Structure 1
């Protein structure tokens, strides 16, 4: 059973579909007042985790709590991430599990359901017994999915990646060095000169007895890309300033080049030829 009610939300910027969210799913009923947090108040809700969202174009989060007969909760968060690209980004940087067919991409694992659709990222978590709550969480997610009548495009930079050998669950989209270092640590300093204006894609590739990472960074123009290229070479692989290719201490290969406003880096290629072939297949 899913019961829908219309509620009035004043004094905050909300989307129309909030008013159509279910007030009850099965025996789980909405309780307490709905909550809203913006860029200035997000720390009040997720102190210690707000930096992740603020590294994207986060606008606002809507929070509704559902309580079951055993007084445990299911908590629904709907994040307005400002754009479809950043909604995909915040979903991607913590993705671990396979898609469960909700929204534009989704996953479920360990009592946490996550999906994105259009400019929105949705998180549903339970404080109760997972097997009891899971079907209710899925019904709630499907209801939210139906209410959202908009879809969005993934970041265009993803199209430059080769598809063969791509580990889809490893795909990450982000902007800043703080997020890069959560995914793949390069250096304490921001040697790639990342900021809110850079689009970054990181992905892992696997071949027969081979593997590597591809990191793509799109800058606002080719001058900025070239500047970051030289800074990266000087700081990370100074012995390869001429060639852009080096074998590092763990005997894997790192290689880099620019293509217009895009900086291309292949990391941890187990074989030089494997890394070179990957780089050749990148089509900015």
Structure 2
């Protein structure tokens, strides 16, 4: 029997054909064929390599950033820097007074727009409210009055700045004293204990202006008396050894004396005994 080498695939008596064989290249019956690899197409190979390198180069070029498209470095506004530095060079009162003088000649429409501008600093907003109170509050008609009250209440509730709060409370009382005196005076009196000296001075100055108006009303005096009495009652233990009141306590004592002068001495028994000795 004839033997074939290992490189020859026997196909004698079989109709099966190797899967890798090309169509139309059948082996003669009873004979085998030698499996050969297809010759490599060098032209296709080099075309494939060229396309791959071209695509990679295009992708790298698109992702690269040209000098023209690079974002420019933003420089700080020198005016803004000077304004920030001014916060450390001047005290709060000077800043408020400076912005007040700057906005004093502004028209009504400009003041209204500034009150709704959220980009203003607390000093600018407080000064704008002050200018409105000093220049326009008496000229506000009924329709504008309601919208301005609503705007000031929004500023009072949303702004964390004590400067804005004090100016807004004083302006609301100036617009409608009977309506807002009871609601605003207790909060204004609490500002007398604020750690910031400017806030304390503003609140005390505005309170003095209110009680200086004639005629003195017992309703308003009762509100002042009850508000101060509540504060002093809570701090009565600290007043036991006080012989000479300090500046902040003296402010409350002055307001308390005014309220007692209007109401009469019958309310003295409502005060803590530690306070009566300081009157």
TM norm structure 2: 0.27
TM norm structure 1: 0.26
Larger fraction in helix: 2
Larger Rg: 2
* Higher RCO structure (Cα 8 Å, ≥6 apart): 1
